[in-house]
Structure 1
Amino acid sequence: MTEPIPFPKMSPSSEPQAPVLLSVTDLKVHFPRPRSSFGAAPEVVRAVDGVNFEVRRGTTLAVVGESGSGKTTTALAVMRLAPITSGSVRLGVTDLSLLPDEAMRQARRRVQMIFQDPYSSLNPRQRVGEAVRAPLDLMNIGTKTERAARVDELFTAVGLRPEQQQLFPHQFSGGQRQRINIARALATNPELVVCDEPVSALDIAIRAQILNLLARLQRELGLTYLFISHDMAVVEHICDEIAVMYLGQIVERAPRQTFFSRPLHPYSVALMSAVPTVKGGRSRAAQRIKLAGDPPSPINPPAGCRFAGRCPAAGPGCDQPQTLREVQRGHWVACHRVESVAGLPTGPLQLPAAA
């Protein structure tokens, strides 16, 4: 039995600076496929193919992209729930990618995950109080009395009543279930919380409540979020920095205000042009940048720019591999057609103007 660990009080972070908490370097997650026939060459799905990013303590990095871009696989690899083919995932000074199973189990005190579906992520036969207490029981943290007090504290922190611990998941709404999942993720007092589309399965009216809850908890507890989403409106509300993924690679990374005021990569511009807006109405919708075709297969991605086959601005040089380069302080883009005009970077495509 391990030594009981006292629970720290829920209080704001006192750190004067924001050092890097999570550092992902050249992360690759490749899944081998069975041979289609005898003698056929083996195939590999390159779900994540050379991803690099950092998340500073107390901030939120949002990873966005369409379905199949590799954003959820990246999140699972950070949690060591997907096998890492190569690269490193460092939490502080600890390289999670090198930890053996038992050491990784202990490291999960520091990193927890909120899953997308608030329904399937809870055991329907387990009382919700037991579900929130489960991480403490599994990791043998604290005494029985301390665990009970911690669960009471967590229910109050996420806006639920402590007496609701005796209820089962089916007795709660979707928003309440996600609050329970958030409470469970916070049970071990983690430094990093990986949020895998935590509001996509909720009604529009409930999404704002959960996002405001996550923002409040971040302020009060000094949490760091890796936030996976495909909803640009949600991302704009909660993130400090944004990384855009396409076919297993990051094509643009920038601070929130910089990105939403001036996206540079053609894929980012196309994503932003698809965001519904009140201003501009039908005229802006008619100017929406429409992408042709489907993304290439991650089994056999193009040798050059992976977006070139669908890019409205593709031209000479796009058949060469593109690497992220810093075109403005903190703004990285993997597109050789991004240029500097009057000291400011400009992309080959522009967002449709709002009327």
Structure 2
Amino acid sequence: MSPTLVTAVADSSAPTSPPTPSPVLLTVTDLKVHFPRPSAGLFKAPEVVKAVDGVSFEVRRGTTLAVVGESGSGKTTTALAVMRLAPITEGSVRLGTTDLSLLGDDAMREARRRLQIIFQDPYSSLNPRQRVGDAVRAPLDLMKIGTADERARRVDELFTAVGLRPEQKNLFPHQFSGGQRQRINIARALATNPELVVCDEPVSALDIAIRAQILNLLVKLQRELGLTYLFISHDMAVVEHICDEIAVMYLGQIVERAPRKAFFARPLHPYSVALMSAVPDVRGGRARAAQRIQLSGDPPSPISPPPGCRFAGRCPVAEPACAEALPPLVQVEADHWVRCRRVQVMDGKAMAPLELPVIPQALPLAA
């Protein structure tokens, strides 16, 4: 028996130990992004839009944190603030041991080697007059990474890594499909060998048939390169496919954060339950759609959010006390955090105040 096989047998018989958690790469602490608005009148105080209002989370190296929520929840603004593309009003964003919120322009430009972003629209993300190879090489040129020959070889490697042919680098964006353009954007984001990649709804502008290909590519690249993703999305089906942990945002705040399996098995916050009830399902058809939780009214204004729970005005199980004081984000189970005073813990198990509707069985097809 060869030494390799002997080692394999010895390893298989050894007692298994739980995997060591990966170190934290990204730490966001009490992040606030407020945008002042011009005063509506001479004697009126200027208004402030509280787009992100006290968000905290961590992303471990090599994992994916998905931030979800409806339009206006602040998820994209959070991503832009992490990239320092939106002004940080308060709080901190740490990448490893580097506090990005304290860096000046020159230091931030150097730090951008370590984090990059993939934007939502593959069409507007590329200069229509620039060859795609030049677009992918642009980060290397701007940061003066490598020689000219090394940059050219790097572009060829990136095109191959994302499933394109190196000779396609001489073409223009209009000569590619939407999915191919997003592959080019992914290649550009990977040019500097970043540790963190922010994905701002990278598949929402693509056809359904192409989304799975791009998601599978992102998963493949993460596995091969050890990438860490901050993934912004409103599509729960997409999130379930790619994330390790999920954070649900509502009106600038995180209302629930949990590992993927725990969240999709049993969401606890009423807003999370409402989001999950709206996920399309092939089982049940119209009966399934009829059981969706319908929320009444619109979200409050981020200019003057209510003093209590920001979801209380639309919550089906809200109590009068919910509108009086803002509940904190508390840990109710292992790695499961919820901002809801109605969630109770009994015998170590969190009890959701609102449950998902039962999915009816689909009727058999007629013979």
TM-score range, shorter chain: over 0.9
2:65 match: secondary structure: strand
2:126 to 119, 122, 126: 122
CA distance in 1, matches of 2:182, 2:289: 34
Give unmatched runs, 5+ long, in structure 1: 1-14
1:6-49 alpha-carbon deviations (Å, 9 max, x no partner): xxxxxxxxx97510000000000000000011111110000000
Name 1:166's counterpart in structure 2.
Answer: 170
Deviation at 1:342, TM superposition (A): 4.5
Name 1:338's counterpart in structure 2.
Answer: 343
Alignment of 1:170-209 (within 5 A): 170-209=174-213
Q: Give 2:98's aligned amino acid.
A: T
Give unmatched runs, 5+ long, in structure 2: 1-18, 361-367
TM-score, length-scaled by structure 2: 0.92
CA distance in 1, matches of 2:234, 2:322: 26
CA distance in 1, matches of 2:209, 2:349: 39
CA distance in 2, matches of 1:16, 1:134: 38
TM-score, length-scaled by structure 1: 0.95
1:276 to 277, 280, 284: 280
CA distance in 2, matches of 1:60, 1:90: 17
CA distance in 1, matches of 2:99, 2:356: 40
Name 2:295's counterpart in structure 1.
Answer: 291
1:234 to 232, 238, 259: 238
1:228-273 alpha-carbon deviations (Å, 9 max, x no partner): 0000000000000000000000000000000000000000000000
Deviation at 1:322, TM superposition (A): 1.2
Name 1:302's counterpart in structure 2.
Answer: 306
How many residue pairs get matched? Answer: 341
Alignment of 1:44-193 (within 5 A): 44-193=48-197
* 1:39 paired to 2:43: yes
Structure of greater relative contact order (alpha carbons < 8 Å, 6+ residues apart):
1
* 1:351 paired to 2:356: yes
1:283-303 alpha-carbon deviations (Å, 9 max, x no partner): 222121100000000000000
8 Å contact from structure 1 (residues 265, 335) kept in 2: yes
* 1:260 paired to 2:296: no
CA distance in 2, matches of 1:16, 1:172: 43
CA distance in 1, matches of 2:20, 2:180: 34
Q: Give 1:69's aligned amino acid.
A: S
1:92-141 alpha-carbon deviations (Å, 9 max, x no partner): 00000000000000000000000000000000000000000000000000
Of 16-25 and 26-35, more deviation after overlay is shown by: 16-25
1:169-188 alpha-carbon deviations (Å, 9 max, x no partner): 00000000000000000000
CA distance in 1, matches of 2:213, 2:207: 10
8 Å contact from structure 2 (residues 331, 337) kept in 1: yes
1:271 match: secondary structure: helix
For the aligned residue pairs, the C-alpha RMSD in angstroms reads: 1.0
CA distance in 1, matches of 2:68, 2:356: 18
Deviation at 1:222, TM superposition (A): 0.1
Q: Give 1:314's aligned amino acid.
A: A
Identity %: 81
2:331 to 313, 316, 326: 326
CA distance in 2, matches of 1:44, 1:119: 32
Name 1:8's counterpart in structure 2.
Answer: none
1:244 match: secondary structure: strand
8 Å contact from structure 1 (residues 280, 353) kept in 2: no
Name 1:9's counterpart in structure 2.
Answer: none
Q: Give 2:330's aligned amino acid.
A: R
CA distance in 2, matches of 1:157, 1:23: 29
2:255 to 251, 254, 259: 251
CA distance in 2, matches of 1:16, 1:210: 29
Q: Give 1:154's aligned amino acid.
A: L
CA distance in 1, matches of 2:150, 2:256: 45
CA distance in 2, matches of 1:295, 1:17: 37
Deviation at 1:150, TM superposition (A): 0.4
Which consecutive segments of 4 or more residues in structure 1 shift more than 6 A?
A: none
2:296 match: secondary structure: coil
Name 1:7's counterpart in structure 2.
Answer: none
